[in-house]
Chain A
Amino acid sequence: MAELIKTVDLKKYFKLSKTEYLHAVDGVNLSIEKGRTLGVVGESGCGKSTLGRTMIGLNNATSGEIWFEGEDLLKLSASRRKAYRSKMQIIFQDPYSSLDPRMSVFQLIAEPLISNKVHKSKGELVDHVSYLMEKVGLDQRFINAYPHEMDGGRRQRVGIARALALNPEFIVCDEPVSALDVSIQAQIINLLMDMQEEMGLTYMFITHDLSVVRHMSDEIMVMYLGQCVEKAPAAELFRNPLHPYTKALLAAIPQPVIGEKMNKEIIRGEVSDPINPAPGCRFASRCKHCCPQCTQADVPLKKVENAHEVACVLYK
């Protein structure tokens, strides 16, 4: 199938001072086929949210290319780029802070429809809002409710309805379930998957929860300090993780099965600063396989098997 969105060497640096740059996203190449889901995993501070926000234009990229439907979005004029905005949406992590507390559910869902002048009459607008509410499983009695009157799961449904309002093709899901309880989390995951099937949506699913990402994604990209360290089809990545960081990440998940005590090979240390990073593999300081080669030059992503790519000197 045809790819819907692609990035080439995408970079986003935040300037901290005259000499210091925070390398949030540092040369990411990815492509997502239409109707598929790319899962992006990594620990806090690895740049996964910045990547998502940069792709849909909430952050201005420092350099690189973002191809969407055959056009490089970063080269378009502001007005032409705006036309693409409605096709790319985002669902935010925290439904407690991403909704305006002073707007009712109706106002929240109608906002994108009003600002894009989709409907001519109020009647059409009301119909569209109730249609969206029904679609995301929100009872009509909530139409005049305010966010504080609803629980986290329903709030997240409002967030999803807002993202779906303009019939987008690509949705960045930025940790949409991590603020929710497990039973509610499962409801939202099912809803997102139903929507994808029904509307042929393409997702980029950002999360730190590996079991959720395995469930949702076709392909998974593992990020560490702004760079992609491994990319593979979901089942393959879990069956055969190659990069030492991916291995450590998988080993660290506590399994709800007794007897399988946690792997004692826990990686030491913590994620280092993404400010003016030294060349070479960024995981080197925590890696037990670290050799001089790792810190000499940047380690590029290499194809090991079909569609399985890894950035590590251990694999040639």
Chain B
Amino acid sequence: MNADLVIRGGRVVDATGERRTDVAIADGVIVDVGDDLAGDRVLEADGCVVSPGFVDLHAHLRQPGKEDAETIATGARGAALGGFTAVVAMPNTDPCMDTAAVIREVLDLADGAACEVVPSAAITVGRAGEHLSPMAELAQLGVRMFTDDGTGVQDDRLMKRALEYSSGLAPFTDGASVTLAQHCEVDSLSEGGFMHEGAWSSKLGIPGQPAEAEDLMVMRDIALARATGARVHFQHLSTAGSVELVRRAKASGLPVTAEATTHHFTLTDAACAGYDPVFKVHPPLRTDTDVAAVKAGLIDGTIDAIATDHAPHTRHDKEKPFDQAPPGMLGLESALALALTELDLPLPQLIARMSWQPARIAGIDDRHGGPVAVGRPANLTVFDPAQVWTISGEAMASKSDNCPYEGREVRGRVRHTVTAGEAVVIDGEVQR
């Protein structure tokens, strides 16, 4: 069979192990693996790792509603440049992704994007925490993850109902299960706060968001997961306390999963000292102890996935005073390099946390994260783990440039990305 595309000379790393082999692709599918393969187009992968495509469980693509900060097209371009073949789009758009119409609009806009854009949907209508969204109808459209991200579901009873209801959606999903993902934060403790509550917030005179606001909601949801048997995914864990709670919940056999963002294992609240809102994020950057705990959680597997929480904002919005500026930072194009540079993880484990583990949580492991084998959908990332480069927000594909790593030297860069059999990034240049 004549291949459209051959990835030549790379070292394949997937859930089954490592080997040096070429990969041939035709019609969106891997058609051959072996030595000296030929095809219409060759992507050189000398010195590079070829892995199943990365999956980001957590990105804000801002469309519909805030197209001045990002669009699905520009966000997907950044994702592809970061090696992601799929991103889960958060539902805090305007209008919110809580109805079939908005989900359809997002799917339409995602058609032809540089990576697969998988819409999540809100747990509650308008993310207001009062009424359940039409989960079955949304699940029928392919939604597998529900979240009110940006805020947690505050009401205990409503959250319990949501878990109960969501665990009975199999008739609407061809048997697939759905996951409720929680932004863990008790509002009554963190309301009015703009950074981690601690030594730095005290010195800077900025109202704080205490760590226990996160710990308490993780604690509650673990209790609710135990009571209902439903799957709960914890988003962007940021505290030593919540990592330990998840560790114990997993040890007791509960079906909980967790993600951590790159910024929560690379930056601390000390970064807020200059009052630059580029370092304002939600949950906030925390202490050295928390950073160490998040890293340890990623290394020992307590935390299943590295997510970006990519959250573009216009320069205008990020030039507001610290307490008025919106929270969030760019993450898609720097995630791999930060993970490689900052995490003491062997490559297969690191890729697990960026690819097949998040793919399973997102419910898209039929097409992402699978082994590099004949017959599998061709969603692949080719990266040079040794390349050293300097991060620059301006140089990124995002419409915004609120990158907190400006000028940081990192190691590891995506060379090619193949999404659904198409080379969407070639030699670091995005193709669509």
- Are the chains A and B members of one assembly? no
Identify the B interface with A (CB < 8 A): none
